[in-house]
Amino acid sequence: MNLSDINNKIGILAVCFSLFVIGKTNAQDWALEKDNSGVKVYTRLIKGWDLKQFKGVVNVKSNLKTVEKTLRNDVGRCRWMYNTFDTKDVKKVSDNEIYCYSRVAAPWPVSDRDNVTKYTYKKVSDSEMYVYFTNVTGVIAEKSGIVRIKKMEGYWHFKETSSLNVQVSQVAVAEAGGSIPAWLANSAIIDSPFYTLLNLKKHIEANPSLHVKN
């Protein structure tokens, strides 16, 4: 092992240790909220946010390339993302940095929410990938009658554990913006990852035409 390799390993360990310390300092332990149909949803409180952070996990009978392709398909996202009926890529900086507009339906009398999100794709290896996302401003003007979500961050994690299984995780936290009943906000924190991941699993597994060969 040369000096460069040693320095790289030290750097990775330092980052991992920093994230561990931050997580322990600013967040509670994850609490399991729902375990059904192969999907698990956890929540926890973290410093600086009014709403809880959620983490959803599911196993999909597919491979990494197929799951990545499905997320990248902006038109197809409406088919599986929870309550999302308008989503489109609005700016492409590179293959690994894409801006997306999404509008989420809310029950009457609550106004629909929308946001512009920057997706950043980071491939760890041929079998693992992170897709980080955060809200951005100044890309699309706010629309009358729709509440813009102005504070949101999280990531997708795809890990291929076998030739036909990918563990998919979604972790996110957001401020709903505007006035919203507490019961709806708390319900959405669980329902959004649960139905998003369940729909994603069904969408991929029921459509062999989506499959991409390794």
Give the predicted TM-score (pTM) of the model.
0.85
Count: domains in the chain: 1
41 falls within a domain: yes
pLDDT (tens, 9 = 90+) of the chain, 214 residues, equals 544 444 444 344 443 443 444 344 466 899 999 999 999 999 999 998 888 999 999 999 999 999 999 999 998 999 999 999 999 999 999 999 999 999 999 888 888 999 999 999 999 999 999 999 999 999 999 999 999 998 999 999 999 999 899 999 999 999 877 667 666 777 889 999 999 999 999 999 999 888 898 7
Give the Cα separation of 155 and 158 in Å (integer). 10
* Residue at 181 is within a domain: yes
Query: Does residue 77 form part of some domain?
Result: yes
16: in domain: no
Q: Which residue has the tokens 């926890």?
A: 44
CATH of residue 138's domain is 3.30.530.20
Cα–Cα distance for residue pair 32/11, rounded to 1 Å: 32
In a domain, 54, yes or no: yes
User: Per the structure block, which two tokens stand in for 137?
Assistant: 């401003």
- Residue 119 located in a structural domain: yes
In the numeric block, which tokens belong to residue 153? Answer: 């961050």
Could you tell me the residue range of the domain that residue 137 belongs to?
A: 29-210
Q: Is residue 201 part of a domain?
A: yes
> Among 193, 163, 189, 209, which Cα is nearest to 60's?
163
Whether 140 is covered by a domain: the verdict is: yes
